[in-house]
Amino acid sequence: MIEAAGSRPEIPAADLAEIQANAEIAWRQSVERARLGGERGRGAAARSLLPLIAATLVAALVLAWWLWPRAIVLPKVAEAERLFGDVQVEAIGEGQSFVPVTKGQILVARSRLRTGSSQGDGSGAALRLASGASLRLGADTELELVASNRIRLTAGAVYFDSGRAASAGPTATREALIWIETSLGVVRDVGTQFSVRMVSGERVEVRVREGEVQLGAMGAASESDEVVEAGRELLLSRNGEPERRNLQTFGEPWEWVLDRAPEFPTAGKSVDEFLVWFSRETGLEVHYDNDVTPEYRRAVLRGSTHQQDPAKAAVVALAGANLRGEIKDGYYVVSIATR
């Protein structure tokens, strides 16, 4: 096992000196105990074990030094991209208290997070997972980042977006796989955009915007898993039968997700690029009026949308290109602002 771990650097002189000093102290204590034992007639037997005791102590201390750096290094699983209101992470150390999360903070495996109440500040967060996917936390949410592809949801709501289109194919879907564990089962990603909400530990609500997910027991997927397709919602109570409903992929069910969307870097991007992002975030299909020529669509945006949600960002971004957008019959229609 040690050979497989690869070579280690030499022990620094200061560390080696400390190890030797500690070993000497332990050895002297053993000598004293042996001396007292000898006075009671067991001295010869005890003294014969002293070299072995000293050697064992040194070996144990060296092995502890060798293993310790590896024991405390946990893999990065996410980065805090945007924060809203009260968002806390459990601190490592005595007392296990929670401390505020800061923007750009690296979160490692086993991190436990919680967000504040939905009343007042509308707490929540947007995390960028190590895979590049986006994970958003609603208010009153508690979860553990078990690994970069495994979330344990205790309360509240999360939204997952792999950043890939469902039409990208099965290989892309498998690469974006994530498990979200709840007390009622595990939600497995077979698609790209969905939310999971845990209600009072007694009911789980799964909403799928794009692709599909499976809800089943821990372990490998099975034929008995509940499958939820895009545009559908599954409600599962602890003591009840699963309930399914149709669901809009835009509008009210997803408003909390839009409030926590990562900012789009508009500077240097074209109108087309911005609207591809806008469509994915809002679930609205974009249509252009006939008078919006390719020159308008290729126009380069300037400035920043100042961390606004996608709807407000669209107003700012399109205005800079002399365009405007409005929702008509479930589509986002883009037209020329002034003629």
Q: pLDDT value at position 162? A: 86
Determine the pLDDT at residue 36: 45
pLDDT value for 30: 54
The residue ranges of the chain whose pLDDT is under 70 are 1-72, 93-96, 120-121, 164-176, 191, 219-222, 307, 339
3-state secondary structure of 236: strand
Question: Which pairs with CB-CB distance under 8 Å and at least 24 residues apart come from 166-170?
Answer: 166/191, 166/192, 166/210, 166/211, 166/230
What pLDDT does 268 receive? Answer: 86
**Phi and psi, residue 153, nearest 5°:** -95, 120
pTM above 0.95, yes or no: no
Rounded CA separation 175/173 (Å): 5
Check residue 155 and give its pLDDT. Answer: 96
The domain 76-253 is placed in CATH, from the list 3.30.470.10, 2.60.120.1440, 3.90.650.10, 2.40.50.140, at 2.60.120.1440
Provide the pLDDT for residue 40.
47
Report pLDDT for 166: 46
pLDDT digits (tens, 9 = 90+) for 185-241: 999 987 689 999 999 888 999 999 999 999 987 766 667 788 999 999 999 998 878
Structure token digits, residue 288: 């252009």
* 263-336 maps to CATH 1.10.1030.10: no
Q: Return the pLDDT at 1.
A: 41
Angle between helices 310-319 and 271-282 (to 10 degrees): 160
